[in-house]
Structure formats: C-alpha cells, structure tokens
Amino acid sequence: MELAYCVIFFFFLMIRRPPRSTLSSSSAASDVYKRQDWERYGTTKHTDGLVVLGRQLQMDSLVRESVDTKIQRLCPDNVVDELRSAERLRLVEVAQAGLHYAGANFEEVRKHSLAQLRQHELVALLKADDLMIQEESIALAAALKWASDAGAGVSEVEQVCEHIRFGLLPFAELQRFEESEWAHRSERLRVMVHQAYKYRAAPTDSRAGLSNPQCTHRDRTYSFV
C-alpha cells in the first residue's frame, strides 16, 4: 500500500509540475515540455484512471487534484472527451466546466468537436445568454451543421433551434432559412421565423413588449476562462 501511495504521488508530481529548468513560461523549452507533458500524463484516459484509483483508495485529495487537472487542461481538442468522461465518472464539476469552456470558446470548439456534442449539450450552449459568438448566424450555422452530421430528424432540429435567437438574424438569412428544407418540413420552425419577422418589423421602442426569448440579445461577457 505504501508503494502504491508513492507511485501515485510521483505520478501526480509529473503531471502538475515541469522540471525547474523549464519553469519559465516565456521559454520555448517550457512550451515544448507542456505539450509533451499533456501527451504523456495529462490525457483524459490518465486522469480518469487517477479518479478511479483515488475513489478505490478513498483518497479524496487525489480525486480533487485529478478533477482540477481536467478543468485546467480543457482545450478545443479535448473538451468533448472530458464531457464524456464526466458522464462516465459522474464528475458534475468537470461537466459544468466543460460546457462553460465550450461556450466561452464556441467558435473554436465547433471547428473541432461539433459533431461529437450530445443534443442536450448543444442545447445548453445555445440557450446561454453568455455564449461567446460574434453574431447569431454562427449559432444557426452550428445548429444546422450538427443536425447534418448527426443525422438529426425534424423533431431534434426543432428542439435545438428553439434556442437560436432568430430575431437577431439579418432579414436575408431569415429568408434563406424560411426557404430551407427544414422549414418546409416543420411548421414549428416556420412559426419561429415569422415571430422573428414580427420582432424585426416592430418599432425599436415597442420591441421590449414582445416577450420572446428568441429575440433576446446575448451578453457576450463570459465569466469562465
């Protein structure tokens, strides 16, 4: 048992701290070490193993350190892997952090991992007021790309598109979506577009009285980095 503790302690030191000669964040050697460090010791598979081992040995500190490492090392390439890991291991904190990271870096994450997102994860991102996107067109394009890649049906597309802010889209884009196959197949989607037209046509000073979450502006200020 003592040997096992020693192995775990040494293993975690290797994950958490680079050699003293490469501690400077400005050095090229440090950057190289960090990449190698992630590839060798910081993968989702390795940290999953530490969580499982920590639970088996009732070492709460090891589980805590593993969870912290997962959160600190989130990136566009691994965020979906960590979300799947969080599901398997019931790591609520990692799941929340993963969604926060994906929302704060949505435009990068969608290039790497969009098709791998579960429907409920995409919905959680799209419904957030603080989703970090430059324009709402990006959210609609992501939703339609996900639907195509995932082979989604009309019902799934309707549920996802409920969280697109159609009222923030340009008229030309609303028209294109209205003419799309999805809108032709779904009265519910057509209603969303028509509500957006109504919102856009209303005088600015009267829009506040039109209670419609699909016309609410996003914050653009994300608290998690």
Give SS3 for 222.
coil
Q: Is 119 buried (19+), middle (13-18) or exposed (0-12) by CB count in 10 A?
A: middle
Q: How many CB atoms lie within 10 A of CB 94?
A: 24
If you search the block for the tokens 């691994």, which residue do you land on?
A: 78
Prediction pTM value: 0.74
What is the chain's pLDDT, residue by residue, as a tens digit (225 residues)? 544 554 454 455 444 444 443 334 344 433 433 444 444 445 888 899 999 999 999 999 999 999 999 999 999 999 999 999 999 999 999 999 999 999 999 999 999 889 899 999 999 999 999 899 999 999 999 999 999 999 999 999 999 999 999 988 999 999 999 999 999 999 999 999 998 988 888 776 655 555 566 777 887 543 332
